[in-house]
Structure formats: structure tokens, C-alpha cells
Structure 1
Amino acid sequence: MASKTVHHHLSSEAYRRRCIYLTGFLYVWVFLSLGCASKTPEKKPNIIYILADQWRASATGYAGDPNVRTPHLDQLARASINFENAVSVIPVCTPYRASLMTGRYPTSTGMFLNDLHLPLSEYGLGDVLADRGYTTAYIGKWHLDGQGRHAYIPPDRRRGFAYWKAAECDHDYNQSHYYTGNSPEKQFWEGYDVYAQTADAQEYIAGQLENDKPFALFLSYGTPHFPHHTAPQELQQHYPPADILLPANVPESMAEQVKKEAQGYYAHCEALDQSIGELLAYLDGLGIRDETLLVFTSDHGEMLGAHGVRPKAKQVPLAESARIPLLLHYPLLHGKTGRRVQTPITTPDIFPTLFGLLDLPIPESYEGDDLSEILTENSEREGHAVLYMQLAPWGVAGPYGREYRAVKTAQYTYVRSLDGPWLLFDDQKDPLQLNNLIEEPAYGAIVSQLDEQLWALLGKRGDAFHPAQWYLDRWQLKPGDHGSIPYDKEGTVPPQSPRLRKDAS
């Protein structure tokens, strides 16, 4: 009996061990299966960044402009997150683009004038996106190479953008050029370049459908930047100068000149709206719109005579120049309905916010704020202020042609010049900024609070707000009479001009 008992005991022990082994095997199998799944994350959304040039925030139907026809953007705004207090960090072409591409402020990179070369030491956005698994593409205006507006930009200076049909800068919209591939041979867009670039963007998107990687496409239009009279004639007919309604901050003495420019400006805007509508319809036809994160914005605005500043001007701290449209359309986040966001945002914040939203690593070099929680949590960041500036003023005569540092909050615009507090506007009560409150005793506490916020933001950037010459000397820059780095009439750089800066410091 004893031997049978022992034999029975051993059989039970073997059975128990077998059960433990099988259970352990199942746990390991489940763990490895989950581990493998975690190493294969779902595909990130495609990104399409639509960048217009000199389209001010107020010049859309959804923003209340009584003249312009933008039905497609109006519809997009109703289904998007609309940042109503977005500003350009410096309302000039090259500085905005440099800040967008680096996530850094102009006081850190030295990119505060037009036609500068973005230092090769900077971590370009195309490289950033490629490092995060994206296939990259850039179509249109670049304005960051600094070797002249018609110069060939070789692949090693394209900052990580693989598909390339771009030019440094060309505003001859009916015969504008570009370069592509590894060829230095100049190519030309067929007809009005907005339409041709949109068609090329559609072709690029179609070619990415079978790609395992998501794509990031930058579609950088040159319009509605002047010259305005080159807009499609059939669209200019929609805007007879006599019918154009001007805002109250445009002096009567400038009305005729402004209306003439506005006719072409609005026609350019309408052409862009039509093209964006075609692009959205194309995404719908492919069935990928809902999984695509689409941004529509501009690099800066256009004064068009507001406050007596000449048409075609930007640079100044006023709303028509500094404030930009910014729509973020991502149905997987916000569904089919839109939302108006009051929290202000400035250029270096844009891609930290998008990366935060997509759960992508934010480069350590980025200086902008990640505001993604206001999107994911359907909230606002109360009391938030953002910084914008002009380090070396150019092209603007009169009282607004000066250095400044400014903050934008949900309610106020506050601007300081080298002489001290300069401008204060309550943008909610006075959107045309007709009433400067800077010397009103009742607003003394507001001025002090905003000035404190301004200096805190400047301190964070290490900027003591020096005169323009200090920054020109620091980066050894000698702008021409028009305020940009000089180039000749053909858009090329004189041979003796040292342009490629390898270090920003």
C-alpha cells in the first residue's frame, strides 16, 4: 500500500508541474503577443500643412469679411478647430518659416530678416518628421535657403523633405519656377501656379496610398501676396472696386488705392479657396480625409491701408499684419463639428502642439509650447500669453516702423517699443484696434500685468530687447535698402556675399 501511495503522490506532482508549465507557457505567449503588438503601433495620421502667404486672419467669410468669397474654407472652419488668436512670431516671410521649421524663436536662430539662409546646424522639420516615421514632401515657396530667389536648392539643403517641387521665392504666379529631383534645371508651373501646385499635391497623395508610412505634405502657396493684379481675371471680376467695403480703420484718403489692391488680393484668396476645396474633395474621394490631420494657415497678414499703413505692408504689430488664420482639421479628434479656441498661439508653438496631439516625441531643441491639452481636453489655457516681435524694422514709414516686442492674450494686444509701453488694444471690444488704451488710467493695472508677462517671456528666450543694430551685429548681417539680405535683379546673390551660415550663434 505504501508503494501505491508514493506512486499516486508522484503522479499528482507530475500533473501539478505539467499544469504549471502549461500555464506559464500561456502567460509567456500572451506577453510576447502583446509585446509584439506594442512594437507595431498603428499608423499615424497623414499631415497636410497648407501655408498661404500674406493672408490675414480677417480675410475670410468665416472671420466676417464682407467682401471675399471663401465658401470652402468657411465650411472647413465649421468642421475644424479654429485658433482665433493665432499670431505670426515675426510677420515677415522668412522669419515665420524659419520659426515653423525649427520650433525656435528668431532671437535664438538669428532668422529675423527676409532672404536669410537657415543655418545647417538647425534641426529642420523635414528631418524631424522623417525621424518620426513620415514620408515628407514640399511643394511651392520655400524662402529659407538664402542663396537668391532663383537659386537651385540641392537635396542636402532641403531640410529632410524627400519629394521636392519648390523654389526659394517666386511671385510671378503665371510663370513661376521650381526645381525638382537632383536637377538644377529650372522648371515652370503650367499657368496660374496655385492650380498647378494643387494638382501636383493630389498626384503626390495618390502615390502614397499604398505606402506603409504616413506622409507629411507641405503645400506652400505664394498667394495672396502681391502682385495682386496678376490674380485670375475671371475672379477679379467678382470684386469691382466700387463695391468693396473697407473697414473703418482705413483712411478715406487711401480708399481708392486700397480698393484697387483689394480687388486682386481677394481674387487670389478666392482662387486659393477653390483649390483647397478641390483638395478636400479629393481626400474625400480617396476616403482618407477623416484620418488626415490638415492645417490651413498663413505666414503673416496684409495691412491693406489699415491705420494708414500702405497696402502690401506687413511687419507691424497691428492685427491686420500679425494675426493669421489657423484651422486644424482632424475628425478623429473632434468629430464632424468644429470649435473656436481662444487660447493664443504663436509660430514656434505649432509643431510642439501637433506632436503632442499625435503623441510624437517633441525635439529638445524646440522652444514653443505644447498646447495639445487644450485640444484633447476641450479646454482653454486661462491667462496664456504668446510673444511676437520685430527685431529690425524695414519697409514701413511713420510711427509703426520701429522695433517692438508684443504679447497677445485672448483679450488684449500689448506692445512695447524701445521707448516703453506703446500700444494696448482690447481686441474683443475693439477688433479694428482704433482705441489705444496705453495711457488710460483705468487700464494701468492691465498694462503692468501684460508688461510683466512680456518680460517673463523675453527672459525665457534670453532677449533683453536691444536696438536693431545689436542683433545685426551679433549675426553679422548687413541688410539692403529694402530690409532683406541683398540679391540682384535676377534674384541671385552676388558672388562675394557669404550666405551659408553653419552656426546660428
Structure 2
Amino acid sequence: MASPNVKQPNVIVFFTDQQRWDTTGVHGNPMGLTPYFDRMAQNGTDVHHSFTCQPVCGPARSCLQSGMYATESGCYRNGIPLPQDLKTLAHHFGDAGYQTGYIGKWHLADEEPVPAEKRGGYDYWLAANILEFSSDSYNAVVYNNDNQPVKLPGYRVDALTDAAIRYIDDHKENPFFLFLSHLEPHHQNYLDDYPAPTGYRENYLSNYTPPDLAALGGTSHQHLPGYYGMVKRLDEAFGRLLDSLRSLDLLDNTVILFTSDHGCHFKTRGNEYKRTCHDSSIRVPTAFQGPGFDGGGRIKELISLIDLPPTLLDAAGIKVPEEMQGKSILPLLNGKKSEWPKEVFMQMSETQLARSIRTHRWKYSVKAKDKDPIAESCSDVYYEDALYDLQADPYELTNLIGFESHQEVANGLKQRLINKMVEVGEQKPRIISAASVQSGQRKVSLNELSGDYIHY
């Protein structure tokens, strides 16, 4: 329950799908795509080093709704419904007296439309399980509480945002928790394309290309203009949402989280868009504003998606349940930084059964070669697969796994990864070292072995 004698803030999650961190101005994108997000990050709290813990839609969403890693909830791949006995953010906010609403993409059920018992406890429902299948960019079809189809007018981003603004206006008298889950800038599956609003794609032809995409290509030359157009419209919609709160005198008492489920590597790391350990797949834009976050500045610690559910509850004065596996970031804003983890942990599924950790300096990843990543969630044996030096190689273009010069680094990271896997509830695995590779002139000095170089 919420603490007594404390005015409960409203809480809104503005959730995008497949948005890279470097689409934003605060992360160096020069194209002016995200002025509203950038202003929020600058005036509120910029979670500058923010990472998903599972770079695929359904599992990431299960982590955000439950506060538990995907292997703990059982939702380790797409198509596995959220267990009905699992308490979600909606349950926790509802128990604390909040009205709860969900609008947009769910992707945590196994049928469409989603029956009431598979909606994670949300009171108000205007959503689709797999929005990219039920709708198109100018044909936004979702389902209401009675599971009747509702076609919302406008470009899909605008249609869902308009619905969220109506919800806010209708529920403004009492505290509410609203989860607005967009599909954009995810690709439209049947087209394998990124359909921006009419006229937007043309604005971003031959524009800035992040260095990893410039080096590796993938589908970025075909898809980046449309992707950027989607990001621009999302930011404009976010601005309209903020304006609605301001006009209703709710802005100062509303906690707002902007984040995404994973990034997009545009088929540079495999024949799809995510599900790898690379920052292009796992790093996302994240910022907070509202009570407890305004003027919070830039958080330099590594923050995982698994830390966001306890943060939202903590910000609302609701006790964080013991089963949640992340940590609220609010203590970081109050100077309590000594006990914060020095790494984030990722689980990968579907195209590979893999595990990875990322420090400020290093990325280390392993995969199970003999397991079916669709049928199995864990393995007892993994093989070293990747090691990147993010100081020298921030776009992860040179894989150092097996290099003789980096063996001590790999061994240290191996143990840290094993410890993390056990900590989150997995069995202690055996990790097979990669074949040795001659390093030439490469070497690592002793003071670099800790892996705690701060790459800001």
C-alpha cells in the first residue's frame, strides 16, 4: 500500500518498440528527432546508460510488467503468455488505490483478442496482443474491455496517443497508472519495412547514420529514413501527451517514464533486428520526470530494464515486493551509489540461447551451441562467443574473444557472468573458453582488468 499522508502521483509509462538509444539528441544524434525527450532528459532524470535485459518483445515486456527476469516468470520467448498468478505492476498499483489502464501493444498472451484473465490485471483495456498483426500504420485496430474491435483514426502513433489523452482526461480526478505501449519504431512485419507518416521518410534521406550501421550496412540504407520518421512522430506524440497533462494541471504530480523494450541493429548482426548482445540491440533511451525525478540530472550508473518496475513503485510510495529482481534507482538520485551493480545482465532467446554482461568498459557474451533456443530457456554448458572493449571499440566492430592479450579480462568476466546467472535464479553453468588467438601488438594493462572504466 502507499505510504499514509502522501499525495499519490499519477504514473505514466510511454513505451516504444525497437528504439535505439542513439536516435535521441542527448545521445548525440544530430538530426533533432527528439526535442521533447531531450528536454525531459535534461530537466528530469536522464538514465544515460539504460539497457534491456531481454532483447525481444514478449520477454522484455514480461520483465517490465513483473519485475522478474524472463527465465523466472517463464516468458523467455515470444508466444508464452504471462502466468495468470503472477502479480504485475497493474496489481501492485491497483492494490494501492490506483486506476490502471493499458493502451496499445501487449504481446504477453497467446490469443487475439486477449481475454480479461490474460490482461495482467489492468482495469481499462484498449489493446491488441500483437499490434503489428492486428493493425497497420494507418489502420490502428485494437480491442476494448469487451473484446470488441475498435478502429482508431489517424496514424497509429497518433491514434494510440489520442486514446491515452482521452483516458487521462476521463480519469484525472483520482490517481491512475497508465501504460501506453506503442509499436513504432518497430517494422511492419508483412512489409519488412518501417512505414513513417506520409511525407516523413523523405525528410531523412541521406542523413546521419550511426557508425555501426555505416560500417556494417545491413538494411539501414533502405530502412533508416522510415525509422527516423517514426521516431520523430513518436516524439511529437510524446509532446502532445505532456501538453495534455499541463493543460489539465496534472504535469507536476505525474511521474512519467519514457523507455523502449530493445534496440535495432538492422540485420547487421544476423538476419533480423535484435536478439543479440550488441548495444545496437540492447541499449535504449530512458528518462523520467515528475515528483522525485525533476532535476535529477544524468545517472551514470548502468541501469537495466529490470530496475524500472521497482523504481515506478518506489516513486509512488508503494513497497517494492521481494520477488522483484531489480533495484529502484531513486537512491542513486540521493547520492547512495556505492552498492549499485557494476554490470547489467542480458538473457537472449529464439535465435540463440545466450547470456551476456556489460560493464562500462567490457562486453562479454556466451551461447549454448547444442540447445534449441525456442524450446529451452537455459543451459548447463555455454561457449564463449564475444568480447568487446567498449573504450577502444564502442560500436563493437572487433570481437576479441580468445585473444591471448585479453584472457585475464575474459576469465574475470566469465566469473562475473556465472555469479550473475546464479543470482537471478539460473543453475551454475560451465563456460567453455574460446580457442586461443594470437594478439599481435594488443595488450591490456593491469589497471584495465577491473572492467570499471566509466565510458560517459
The answer to whether the superposition gives a TM-score over 0.5 is yes
**Partner of residue 287, structure 1:** 249
How far off is 1:364 after superposition? 2.7
Aligned equivalents of 1:145, 1:383: Cα separation in 2: 32
Aligned AA (1:232): P
**Partner of residue 446, structure 2:** none
CA deviation profile, 1:205-227 (whole Å, cap 9, x unmatched)? 1222222xx11110100100002
The question of 1:217 aligning with 2:217 is answered no
The question of 1:354 aligning with 2:302 is answered no
Aligned AA (2:359): T
How far off is 1:325 after superposition? 1.3
- Alignment equivalent of 1:458, drawn from 416, 421, 429: 421
Aligned equivalents of 2:144, 2:102: Cα separation in 1: 10
**Partner of residue 258, structure 2:** 296
The question of 1:328 aligning with 2:288 is answered yes
Query: Secondary structure, in 3 states, of the residue corresponding to 1:165?
Result: strand
**Partner of residue 495, structure 1:** none
Aligned AA (1:393): E
Q: Check whether the contact 1:374–1:380 (CA below 8 A) recurs between aligned residues.
A: no
- Alignment equivalent of 1:77, drawn from 38, 41, 60: 41
Aligned equivalents of 1:340, 1:305: Cα separation in 2: 31
Structure 1 residues 378 and 79: CA distance shift in structure 2, 3 A: farther
**Partner of residue 57, structure 1:** 21
**Partner of residue 139, structure 1:** 103
**Partner of residue 111, structure 1:** 75
- Alignment equivalent of 1:405, drawn from 351, 355, 368: 355
Query: Secondary structure, in 3 states, of the residue corresponding to 2:251?
Result: coil
Aligned equivalents of 2:118, 2:72: Cα separation in 1: 20
Aligned equivalents of 1:121, 1:459: Cα separation in 2: 24
Aligned AA (1:404): A
Aligned equivalents of 2:208, 2:322: Cα separation in 1: 47
Q: Check whether the contact 2:143–2:149 (CA below 8 A) recurs between aligned residues.
A: yes
Give me the identity figure in percent. Answer: 29
Query: Secondary structure, in 3 states, of the residue corresponding to 1:69?
Result: coil
How far off is 1:297 after superposition? 0.4
Aligned equivalents of 2:48, 2:3: Cα separation in 1: 39
How far off is 1:334 after superposition? 4.2
- Alignment equivalent of 1:95, drawn from 49, 59, 64: 59
Aligned equivalents of 2:264, 2:276: Cα separation in 1: 10
Query: Secondary structure, in 3 states, of the residue corresponding to 1:290?
Result: helix
* Structure 1 moving runs of 4+ over 6 Å: none
Structure 1 residues 305 and 159: CA distance shift in structure 2, 3 A: closer
Structure 1 residues 64 and 273: CA distance shift in structure 2, 3 A: same
Q: Check whether the contact 1:51–1:219 (CA below 8 A) recurs between aligned residues.
A: yes
Query: Secondary structure, in 3 states, of the residue corresponding to 1:340?
Result: strand
Structure 1 residues 39 and 80: CA distance shift in structure 2, 3 A: closer
CA deviation profile, 1:211-257 (whole Å, cap 9, x unmatched)? 2xx111101001000024421122112112xx2333333366847x4
Query: Secondary structure, in 3 states, of the residue corresponding to 1:297?
Result: strand
Structure 1 residues 238 and 381: CA distance shift in structure 2, 3 A: farther
The question of 1:234 aligning with 2:199 is answered yes
Q: How many residues align?
A: 409
Structure 1 residues 297 and 428: CA distance shift in structure 2, 3 A: farther
The question of 1:385 aligning with 2:350 is answered no
Structure 1 residues 358 and 427: CA distance shift in structure 2, 3 A: farther
How far off is 1:157 after superposition? 2.3
- Alignment equivalent of 1:275, drawn from 205, 221, 237: 237
CA deviation profile, 1:143-180 (whole Å, cap 9, x unmatched)? 11111xxx122323222211111111122121121111
How far off is 1:192 after superposition? 1.0
Aligned AA (1:238): N
Aligned equivalents of 1:299, 1:289: Cα separation in 2: 25
Structure 1 residues 80 and 435: CA distance shift in structure 2, 3 A: farther
Query: Secondary structure, in 3 states, of the residue corresponding to 2:366?
Result: strand
**Partner of residue 424, structure 1:** 387
CA deviation profile, 1:13-49 (whole Å, cap 9, x unmatched)? xxxxxxxxxxxxxxxxxxxxxxxxx985222111010
CA deviation profile, 1:234-287 (whole Å, cap 9, x unmatched)? 2112112xx2333333366847x4222111111110110100011112222222
**Partner of residue 434, structure 2:** none
Aligned AA (1:408): R
Q: Check whether the contact 1:142–1:169 (CA below 8 A) recurs between aligned residues.
A: yes
Aligned equivalents of 2:328, 2:173: Cα separation in 1: 32
Q: Check whether the contact 1:85–1:408 (CA below 8 A) recurs between aligned residues.
A: no
Structure 2, gaps ≥5 residues long: 369-381, 431-456
Aligned AA (1:91): P
How far off is 1:451 after superposition? 1.7
How far off is 1:458 after superposition? 0.9
Structure 1 residues 59 and 202: CA distance shift in structure 2, 3 A: same
Structure 1 residues 122 and 334: CA distance shift in structure 2, 3 A: closer
Aligned equivalents of 1:128, 1:253: Cα separation in 2: 44
Aligned AA (1:129): F
Query: Secondary structure, in 3 states, of the residue corresponding to 2:273?
Result: coil
Query: Secondary structure, in 3 states, of the residue corresponding to 2:46?
Result: strand
CA deviation profile, 1:275-316 (whole Å, cap 9, x unmatched)? 001111222222221221100000111112445x44x51111
Q: Check whether the contact 1:383–1:409 (CA below 8 A) recurs between aligned residues.
A: no
Q: Check whether the contact 1:306–1:320 (CA below 8 A) recurs between aligned residues.
A: no
**Partner of residue 370, structure 1:** 328
Comparing both structures, which one devotes a greater share of its residues to helix? 1
Q: Check whether the contact 1:86–1:324 (CA below 8 A) recurs between aligned residues.
A: yes
How far off is 1:76 after superposition? 1.5
Structure 1, gaps ≥5 residues long: 1-37, 395-401, 468-505
Query: Secondary structure, in 3 states, of the residue corresponding to 1:359?
Result: coil
How far off is 1:81 after superposition? 1.5
Aligned AA (2:402): E
Q: Check whether the contact 1:300–1:323 (CA below 8 A) recurs between aligned residues.
A: yes
